[in-house]
Amino acid sequence: MTEKPILRVLAGEALWPPPIWLMRQAGRYLPEYRAARAEAADLLGAFTTPDLATEITLQPIRRYGMDAAILYSDILILPWALGHGLRFEEGVGPVLPRLDGQAGVAALDRGGFADRVAPVLETVRRTAAALRRDYPATTLIGFAGAPFTVACYMIEGGGSREHAEVRRLAYADPALFAALMDVLIETTIDYLAWQAEAGAEVLMLFDSWAGVLPPPLFAAHVTAPAARVAAALRKRAPGVRLIGFPRLAGSLLAGYARTAGLDAVGMDTATDPLWAAAAVPDGVAVQGNLDPIAVVAGGEAMHAAALAVRDALRGRPHIFNLGHGIVPQTPPAHVGALVDLVRAV
């Protein structure tokens, strides 16, 4: 039925060599990215200009022939589209207003959400058309931040080391926390279903801060929301494939993979692929998990580390990727060498 390698793996087939794409593959390490980005006034402008975002999404496909293109957007587009506000500060990262309790949840503008995400959906449509035309074996991946990670940025007002305020709130005011999570879960379902309608074949949930939670809160705020999103998408976008990435989940990745109802789970850099191969149920593919810094180093060290990941998962449905996003100081030639060596058998 389907020929695309990534879709074959997500349907449960073990391919050798495994297909490959890299998180943050469209980004600042590429000179063509920096040139394209300079055309937009700011990062939000780049994410919401369909021509430019389509071009940036396709850059790593053109340069390396990756097996997947991932939509050039950001997980924080969702709170922005709910009217919560967002700016990206050079050298600081994303800055958002801190959520103002129940009033802040009530103020989220669900009525304006569809209009604000329209340019992103247009990027999905244009990218899907370009891939059909020029790269018919390349899979288009859409994504959203998982509700917990998006809540982290909204509650902390940006990035954070400990996420102490998010965790405090989850203990101290579970009703408020649940109210925020409900809005995020429901709007994430809409947003992902719309991406599937626009041509995304795979949808990925990035839960970058899942690993700050103890097991009971992880079950409630990471696994359960992923299961709700997955169940709703199975109905609204039948046929779409789902990947969840609860970063730094450690041993909790096993329960997440068993119960969330996804087609694949991402492994972060600290996960032992041999452990994951045994702990993740057979029907769930795994994705990952080369250390992004090994790609900065390149050479023999990258070679050995990449083949160790690839070979550990031989015989299992596996999509080769990094354990976290590619970093800006990565030499583009090292990425090309990585793709070649993963594909060489």
Active site amino acids: 24, 28, 37, 74, 153
d(CA 55, CA 72) in angstroms, rounded, equals: 9
Looking at the Cβ atoms of 93 and 112, the one nearer to ligand CP3 is 93
d(CA 154, CA 172) in angstroms, rounded, equals: 17
Helix (H/G/I), strand (E/B), else coil: 13: coil
- Interaction between residue 211 and ligand CP3 (CB under 6 A): no
Q: Which residues contact 69 (CB under 8 A, 6 or more apart)?
A: 21, 57, 58, 60, 61, 127, 131, 135, 138, 139, 140, 141
Span near ligand CP3 by CB under 6 A; candidates 69-77, 121-129, 254-262, 272-280: 69-77
Among 4, 37, 84, 221, binds ligand CP3 (CB under 6 A): 37
Span near ligand CP3 by CB under 6 A; candidates 9-17, 65-73, 100-108, 189-197: 65-73
- Interaction between residue 296 and ligand CP3 (CB under 6 A): no
Looking at the Cβ atoms of 208 and 223, the one nearer to ligand CP3 is 208
Q: Are 21 and 70 in contact, with CB atoms under 8 Å apart?
A: yes
Among 11, 14, 28, 176, binds ligand CP3 (CB under 6 A): 28
Looking at the Cβ atoms of 23 and 124, the one nearer to ligand CP3 is 23
- Interaction between residue 23 and ligand CP3 (CB under 6 A): yes
Shortest-Cβ-distance residue relative to ligand CP3? 208
d(CA 268, CA 265) in angstroms, rounded, equals: 10
d(CA 165, CA 187) in angstroms, rounded, equals: 23
Span near ligand CP3 by CB under 6 A; candidates 22-30, 161-169, 179-187, 189-197: 22-30
DSSP symbols for 285-297 = EEEEEE-HHHHHH
> What is the per-residue binding string for ligand CP3 in 88-127, x denoting contact by CB under 6 A?
x----xx---------------------------------
d(CA 267, CA 222) in angstroms, rounded, equals: 15
* Per-state percent for the chain, helix, strand, coil, to nearest 5: 55, 15, 35
> What is the per-residue binding string for ligand CP3 in 153-192, x denoting contact by CB under 6 A?
------x---------------------------------
Q: Which residues contact 317 (CB under 8 A, 6 or more apart)?
A: 9, 10, 12, 13, 14, 15, 264, 284, 285, 286
The nearest distance, CB 238 to ligand CP3, in angstroms, is 24
Note the residues at the interface with ligand CP3 (CB under 6 A). Answer: 23-28, 37, 43, 70, 72-76, 88, 93-94, 143, 159, 206, 208, 325
